[in-house]
Chains A and B, each alone.
Chain A
Amino acid sequence: MSEHHKETFITKYIFSLDHKMIAKQFLITGMFMGVVGMTLSLLFRLQLSNPGESFAVLEFFLGEKWAPGGVLDPNMYLALVTMHGTILVFWVLTAGLTGTFANFLIPLQIGARDMASGFMNMLSYWFFFAATVVLLSSLYVETGPASAGWTIYPPLSALPQAIPGSGLGQDLWLIAMTLFVVSSLLGGLNYIVTILNLRTKGMTMMRLPLTIWALLIVAILGVLSFPVLLSCSLLLIFDRSFGTSFYLSDIIIGGEALHNTGGSPILFEHLFWFLGHPEVYIILLPALGIVSEVISVNSRKPIFGYKAMVGALLVIALLSFVVWGHHMFLTGMDPFLGSVFTFTTLLIAIPSAVKVFNYLATLWRANIRFTPAMLFAIGFVSTFITGGLTGIILGDSALDINVHDTYFVTGHFHIVMGVSAIYGMMAGVYHWFPKMYGRMMNKKLGYFHFWVTFISAYGVFFPMHFLGLAGLPRRYYTNSAFPMFDELTNINEIITFFAIIGGLVQLLFIFNFFYSIFKGTKATENPWKSNTLEWTTPVERIHGNWPGEIPTVERWAYDYSKPDADDDFIPQTVPLKKGEIEH
């Protein structure tokens, strides 16, 4: 690939086939959606801490219709919650996270010139882009965007008479999700093929960095589960538009008895969660991969128990297909099934514990270099522990009876999935920024960003457990309808306070990001003294990645601080010395 390509602006920045450019497109779209999703959550947080009060910002963003006199409308509250959840789960932490790092890291870390199919890769981004446009346009629909929760359970999501957001807004949501699934499948197939076929000479599976293992497993999870979401949405589209009764039965709405009989909303829940649960691991695993890499590099130590780490990833991925029922303990499902799902769910604690202890063992007797990326990785370990532990309560069907659908759940999943994955994503951005843009991000702003984020994230989500244990249901427009919740107001105020601080400091991160693209200090080829292949590519980031031959791999990725070595790192391209054993 040494011959020179004539690149125009369009082929270089827009319809690019280069995996590095596509990765940046995913990243920047994801960041943009992150800001949108976060802003929505701040808007509804205002209502939760100050129910019924008038806010100029609400009227500014939502207009007279949805915030008459600056007071949030209850339908709009649910719409904001739904769009917030949808955007963060799918747009930011699925496409934004995997799309960025799978595209960027897979060819660079396995030693390939590009993805197996650059064209499919480009299509994957543009389907995602179209999905984004459709989803955002639903914010401007007369009857409001989808409002039935990100889980869009029918009949609520099927009947415009039940909630205005289930009109055109829900249609657009479903169209956007369909485009999104196509994008994920195109991406996922490409990642799998690339990892399996395009590894450079010497890059055996057991020499792959853990990032690649995680991304491979995520792609497989996605390819197996997203089609189920697609069929689940298609049936919902049929019920909504063509009078079928897959999910609908025995309904009177708006004074009118519907003709539908024989359908079951529970069928929808089974289909939805068959994707929905693997989805949370689709969000989490790339973060686990990134964190493993960042912790090892910055501990200047091999990741402890590489094989166990790969094994744990595989076990978690397998189990994630047989636990979906833990979202449905209270649907009237056969109690015996509930027992089975409790059992499989609690099993996940074991590989998760192995991961945590292996991280701790990696940090033990390390020589920790606190880059901003490393801080986010350590923050990840902290939130992964906290959120993982509360999962033991929710996974237990007997305990779930009283915490299901309360703020306890909101606290749990934000910490273990939301915040952890965001930390993983941040760690990835800070760590690979020099490779993406050839410049360094500002370190001091990075430190400030991390500490304020760490404090405010726990400040927002830890107190939610107490709201849940007090019995407060989630998706409530206000808790003021029940005197028993009156004493929770001050907790809600504290949460909103931290949410605003945490939101603002993300703007600082965005500033740092864009400032550094143009004005950051110039990076060297391998600023973190890292072993993996991407750090052998030139700072200039050329099409085809390596100017000459593709390097061959001689050792695993984690030879940090190996005794008898001259330096505290040995790149994967350095051959084993005579008599040196691999590890």
Chain B
Amino acid sequence: MTGILIGLIIAVSLIVLVQLLRVNELISQVKNEDPNLVNDEDNNTQGILAFSIMGVLFLASVLWQFKYWGIHILPPASSIHGATIDTLMRVTLALILFVFFITQPILAWFTLKYRGNSKRKAYYFVHNNKLELAWTIIPSLVLTPLIIYGLNVWNDITNTDTSNSKVIELYAKQFNWTARYSGDDNTLGKANFKLVEGLNELGVNMNDENAGDDIITREVHLVVGEPVLLKMRSQDVIHSAFLPHFRVQMNCVPGMITQFGFTPTQTTAEMKNQEGDDFEFVLLCNKICGAAHYNMKMKVIVESQDDYDAWIYSQKTLKNTLTVK
């Protein structure tokens, strides 16, 4: 029934539309000019419309969005390197918005100011080397420091000294995460996908002397102010470990080990104070990996050394899990 109704509505509106077009065209045949060519009146309305919509409505809506949706942007980074990314982001955004709010109004202004008129003639202006040189050189001059600044931040992030970092493995598979702490020796036991079996979900080689004290967990606990080095592996397809609050992201690629080192600067409790009680740090999957990609998550908790110690001592080492029946 609704189908027929919708069909009817579409048919009627089509007929109305066709009739309107007909009338429009008949009238102008009487006037003896093609109604689909543009006249001064059109130029006038469209010019004003262009200025109002592109220059006023659009730009106002951008400001509106920053005001009302800006609050949804992630809170300031909870990691040392994250703060440098945030600063770089602010600088870049300021620059971008500056250029945006100059060029868009110019475009809108020109559409209004130079809207056509059959009595006027345009200015024949073919080229001007000085101008063109200026707008090649000025963007280059602005970009150069920005590129250098960005590369410095990138180098600092990717070349941090991780020799004192606590090593933790993030293991991805459809559709969950597992963490492996490296234990007292701070070295992960070797692993091989062929060894994945039963309780040994990560395929750790128990003959490796570094493996026994490894600890497998379903949550990531971090100590505030202590550097960590995350090492990522994947069991099946590409996943990506994304910890947006720390500005950390790295792909997990089967057949490869990738890594990302950082230092958290705020505890979960502190963040709850700032952001509200339901705040949690999270680890998300950020590379399309299958049906439940959208739901592949793990809780991340940043806490004091004491709280962390209490938690880690309550976990079982691999030796315990795998040998005790």
Contacts and interface: CB of A to CB of B under 8 A. Distances in A.
B56 interface: no
Contacts of B225: none
Contacts, number: 368
A205 interface: no
Interface residues of B, number: 118
A289 interface: no
Given A264-B256, A385-B100, A466-B65, A162 B124 contact: no
B263 to A, nearest CB: 15
Nearest to A153: B238
A489 to B, nearest CB: 11
Given A390-B96, A458-B61, A370 B47 contact: yes
Interface string B279-292: 11010111111111
Interface stretch (B152-160, B211-219, B315-323): B152-160
Interface string B113-152: 0111100111111111001100110011001001100110
Interface in B214-254: 235-238, 240, 242, 244-245, 247-251, 253-254
Given A354-B132, A404-B249, A332 B122 contact: no
B293 A401 contact: no
B193 interface: yes
A139 B167 CA distance: 46
A554 interface: no
Given A149-B288, A265-B255, A440-B36, A338 B158 contact: yes
> Size range of the interface on A?
35 or more
B206 to A, nearest CB: 18
A582 B17 CA distance: 48
Nearest to B69: A466
B249 A159 contact: no
B83 interface: no
Given A301-B124, A473-B284, A335 B106 contact: no
Contacts of B114: 299, 363-368
Contacts of A367: 114, 116-117, 120-122
B106 A360 contact: yes
A302 B124 contact: yes
Interface in A305-339: 305-308, 330-332, 335, 338-339
B141 to A, nearest CB: 10
A491 B73 CA distance: 13
Nearest to B97: A389
A70 interface: no
B116 A330 contact: no
Contact of B288 (A78, A300, A483): A78
Contact of B72 (A162, A402, A475, A488): A488
B291 A466 contact: no
A253 interface: yes
A313 to B, nearest CB: 14
B43 interface: yes
A390 B89 CA distance: 11
B193 A368 contact: no
Given A251-B193, A335-B159, A339-B155, A521 B54 contact: no
21 contacts: A153-B288, A154-B237, A155-B236, A248-B255, A251-B235, A251-B254, A300-B122, A301-B123, A331-B251, A335-B154, A382-B54, A382-B104, A392-B96, A396-B146, A404-B286, A405-B286, A441-B36, A442-B24, A455-B53, A475-B288, A482-B282
Interface of A: 74-75, 78, 148-149, 153-156, 159, 162-163, 248-253, 257, 261-266, 299-302, 304-308, 330-332, 335, 338-339, 342-343, 346-347, 349-350, 353-354, 356-358, 360-361, 363-371, 375, 378-379, 381-382, 385-386, 389-390, 392-393, 396-399, 401-402, 404-406, 440-445, 447, 451, 454-455, 458, 462-463, 466, 469-471, 473, 475-479, 481-484, 487-488, 491, 511, 515, 519-521, 524, 527, 558, 560-563, 568, 583
